[in-house]
Amino acid sequence: KSWGDVPTELQLREIDRFIEEEGQDDLFFTSNFVYGDSEPPQPVILPGILRINILPSNKWHIYLFRKEHVYEDVWAGKPEKIYHYDPERKVEFPSPRTSFEAWREKIKGKSIQWKSAELSFMEKVAQITQQAIAQRGGEIAQLNKELVRSNNALDTFGYTLTHDLKNPLSSIKLAAQMMLMKDDLPKDMLRKMALNIMDATALITEMMDKVYQLTQSNYVA
């Protein structure tokens, strides 16, 4: 994820290749990075680059970019030497400056330099991020253990529930079969069968409630 002005994907790969070639994997920074000519010029020039590793094995990095900052150097006279040729001595010699009027030169392709405090701050950010990732990784590992334990408990409970449900279901089935087979059952027999059905359904309801409670207590967010 990025915010603000950033290089293109192709330019990011170019930056990564350059850093790998330089062998500066942990922390790399520069204020005058020169991009290749493989893409059209970007509207915003970003010669200032800072990259710090978070998880090198996963290629997780934090990048910071700085825009070009045009500097202006002021000289007492134009800083160039004009040479004259002496035909008699056959030598060239520089002529002295004839004017010390202020001469300005604009320097492009650079950003404001990274300060040591900024570098230390980013190293601290990387350290805190790494600690948070490690802590989160430990929490996830613990959650996975709890999930495995819960699944094992559910498997055991499911087997027990299946076995225990057979008795009340058999009672209900037997009572229903008796009622269908015989139309002249005594009232006391019908009452007994009805009570058996009620007891069996109550037992099944109790088992279902326990299943619900178990799933709630072992829920892992």
Cβ atoms 114, 31 nearer than 8 A: yes
Mean pLDDT score, 203-210: 83
Mean pLDDT score, 16-24: 83
- CA dihedral defined by 118, 120, 124, 129, rounded to 10 degrees? 60
- Which strand (E) or helix (H) includes residue 156? helix 116-181
Assign 219 a pLDDT band (cuts: 50, 70, 90). Answer: low
Q: What mean pLDDT, rounded, does the chain reach?
A: 78
Cβ atoms 50, 29 nearer than 8 A: yes
Cβ atoms 154, 189 nearer than 8 A: no
Quick one: pLDDT at residue 90? 72
Q: What is the pLDDT of residues 170-194, one digit of tens each?
A: 888 888 888 888 878 888 888 888 8
Q: What is the pLDDT of residues 5-15, one digit of tens each?
A: 888 888 888 88
Cβ atoms 28, 51 nearer than 8 A: yes
pLDDT score of 58 more than 50: yes
Cβ atoms within 10 A of the Cβ of 16, count?
15
How far, in Å, are 12, 24, 38 from residue 20 at the CA level? 12, 7, 19
Query: Using CA atoms, how far apart are residues 87 and 201, in angstroms rounded to an integer?
Result: 124
- CA dihedral defined by 94, 99, 102, 105, rounded to 10 degrees? -30
Both tokens assigned to 117: 């405090």
Label the pairing between strands 48-55 and 27-30.
Answer: antiparallel
- Structural domains in the chain, CATH included, are 72-105 (no CATH), 144-217 (1.10.287.130)
Mean pLDDT score, 91-116: 70
Tell whether pTM > 0.75. Answer: no
Mean pLDDT score, 103-107: 67
pLDDT score of 220 more than 50: no
